[in-house]
Structure 1
C-alpha cells in the first residue's frame, strides 16, 4: 500500500456532546496529524462511542470545536461523513450473524460501486467494474489481515462462526472498501485475549502507517506506545467555585452551562451534500440489540458502550449525569 499519508488530521478543543439528561462527554482536547493512531480510553458509559460518532459526523456536538481533514464540526457533518467510515460499532455499523463473509463483502462492494464512485466509473464495461471491485476487496482484506482461506468454510463462513478477532478484521475490511481518510473502530479490545489484543493493535498500527488516520475506542491502550495519541473520556473534578457574601456558591450548574445548546442529533438525511453511507447505514436505526459473547450468542442487552454495565462513579447529586447523557445521545443514532 502507498505509505503517503492520505488520512485526515483531527483536532478538538473543548469538544462535547450533551443529551436530554446531561453530558455524554465534554472538555475533549487533542490534536492528531494525518495517519495518526488515536486511542480513546475510558470506562463503559463515559461517552467513548459518542465521541467516535461525533468526530465522524454522525452525532451533533453541543460545545467546543473540532475539525476532521480541515472540515469543521458540526457545520460540515455531511462532508465529514463522506471521508470517514465506521467499523465494529454495535447498533450502527455491525455485522449480520445470519450472513456469510462473502455476502458481506459483495454487499459492501456493490454499495461502494453504486454510490461511492463517480458517474464515469458506473459507465465502464461490466468486466472492468467487477475487476475493480475485486481489487478493492482484496486490498481491504489484506490491510485488515483477514485470510479467507484460514476461515472454517472460507468465504462461505457465517459471521456467527467467526472468532472475535476475525469479526473485528472483517468489520475493518468492510469499512476500508470505501477508502476512508479516517477509520473509526469501536470496542477494539472488547473480550480479546492478550495475544488477540496485540494482534488487533498491530493491525491498526499498520493501517495508520499506510496513511489512514485511525480512531480506536478501547479499554486499555497499548502500553509504552509513543506513537499513539491518547484521548481519555470520563468525568473530571469540577473546579470549586468561590462563594458570595451570603455563602452561596456561584458555580454554574450543568443546566446553566448547557443552556441554549441543542441535544445531539444523529444522521440528517436532508442535509445538503450528504454522501450515501454503506453497510453501517443499512444497520442504522436498529434498536434493542443484544450483546454477544462469541458471535451470535446473546449475553445481555447493550446499554451505552457495550454489554457490560457501566461502572463509573460520579459525585452525589448528579451521579449518573455523564452515563445517562451518553445513553440519551446514543439513542438518537439508533442505540437504546
Structure 2
C-alpha cells in the first residue's frame, strides 16, 4: 500500500458505561506500521477499545493519539485516517449481497462521501481506471482471489468460508488506503491453520506500512500486546441499554452499532440488496448485480516505537455493552 501507517499512543485511556468500565488504564505505544493485538476474553472490552482508538467511541478518561491526532478532541479526523474491517454490529458484511455488490457499494461510498472535487471532475474513463486500480490493489493486499470463489464475484457472502469473508472485509476497508486498519475477532471460528493465515495476512499489511489494530482471544508473539480482562461488575445504580436503543442527550443515535460511523468515514455498512445502510450514517439504496463497477471511483477514508507488552484493566460485559450507549457522537 502507498500510505504510511499511523503511530498509536495512549495514556490512562478508559471508557465507562452506566454499569461499569468497559476498559480502563490503558497505556499504548506503537510505531507506524505496527501489528497491535488487543487480547482478551469475550466481553472484556476489547471491541470498545478498538472502536475508541479509531474515533468511533468517545473515551471517558485519559487520551490517545492516532497519527498525531489527539483523542477525544479529534475524533472526526481520526475516523478519516482509520478504517474498520469486520466489527459485529458496526461493519458486518451483508450475507445476502455478493462480493461484486459489496465492492460496488464501497466504491459508491468512496465517491459520494470521500472523493475530492478534483477527483469527481475527472473524465469518467479516468475515474473507472482509478477505481479498478484501487479495488485490485485492495483485493491483492487482502489475499482474496475472486476467480477462485465458487461463483466468482457473484458469490454471496453467505457462501464464503470464514477466512474468505475476513479477507473480503479487509479488502473493503483497504480500498480507502487507511493509515490504520482495525479488525475485530480475528481468530473467531477459525481453525489453527486458518488462524495462522489470518495473522500472516495482517502481518503482511503492516509490513507494507499500514498500522494494524486487531482484537483477538490469543495474540501472536510478535505483536504489540494490549491485554483486557473481565472484572466483577461495578454497580452504579443506572439502568443499562442496548446499542440499538442507545441515544445521546440530544436525541441522536450514539456513535456505535449500525451508526458507529455517523461522520461518513467510509466504513462498509450492512446493507440489504434494496435497503438502507448501516455504518456510514447516510441513507442510501442499492440494488446492484454483476461484477464490481469501477465507475464508482472514490478517494477513501484514508486513511509505534514498538515497546513491550501493554497492560490495562477491562471490565464487565455490562460495562462494555453500556459504553456503547453512553459515549455519544463525535
**Smaller-chain TM-score bracket:** 0.7 to 0.9
Which structure has the higher relative contact order (CA within 8 Å, separation 6+)?
2
Any conservation in 2 of the 1:7–1:211 contact (CA below 8 Å)?
Answer: yes
Give the Cα–Cα distance (whole angstroms) in 1 for the partners of residues 214 and 71 of structure 2: 19
Any conservation in 1 of the 2:157–2:165 contact (CA below 8 Å)?
Answer: yes
Structure 1 residues 142-180: Cα deviation after superposition (integer angstroms, max 9, x where no partner): 000000011000000000000000000000000001111
Give the Cα–Cα distance (whole angstroms) in 2 for the partners of residues 155 and 214 of structure 1: 26
How much does 1:221 deviate?
1.0
How much does 1:234 deviate?
1.3
Q: Does residue 118 of structure 2 align to residue 124 of structure 1?
A: no
Any conservation in 2 of the 1:97–1:160 contact (CA below 8 Å)?
Answer: yes
How much does 1:125 deviate?
0.8
Q: How does 1:124-143 map to 2 (within 5 A)?
A: 124-143=122-141
Give the Cα–Cα distance (whole angstroms) in 2 for the partners of residues 33 and 189 of structure 1: 24
Per the alignment, residue 218 of structure 1 pairs with 216
Unaligned residue ranges in structure 1 (runs of 5+): 238-252, 256-261, 268-272, 287-319
How much does 1:115 deviate?
1.9
Match of 1:203 among 195, 198, 201: 201
Match of 1:144 among 126, 142, 145: 142
SS, match of residue 44 in structure 1: coil
Give the Cα–Cα distance (whole angstroms) in 2 for the partners of residues 236 and 28 of structure 1: 15
Unaligned residue ranges in structure 2 (runs of 5+): 237-247, 257-261, 271-276, 282-313
CA distance 1:62–1:332, change in 2 (3 Å): closer
Match of 2:38 among 33, 40, 44: 40
Give the Cα–Cα distance (whole angstroms) in 2 for the partners of residues 181 and 285 of structure 1: 19
Q: Aligned residues, how many?
A: 270
TM-score, normalised with respect to structure 1: 0.75
Any conservation in 2 of the 1:34–1:211 contact (CA below 8 Å)?
Answer: yes
Structure 1 residues 70-128: Cα deviation after superposition (integer angstroms, max 9, x where no partner): 11111100000000011110110010000000000011012112222210000011111
Any conservation in 2 of the 1:39–1:215 contact (CA below 8 Å)?
Answer: yes
Match of 1:114 among 105, 112, 115: 112
Give the Cα–Cα distance (whole angstroms) in 2 for the partners of residues 148 and 142 of structure 1: 10
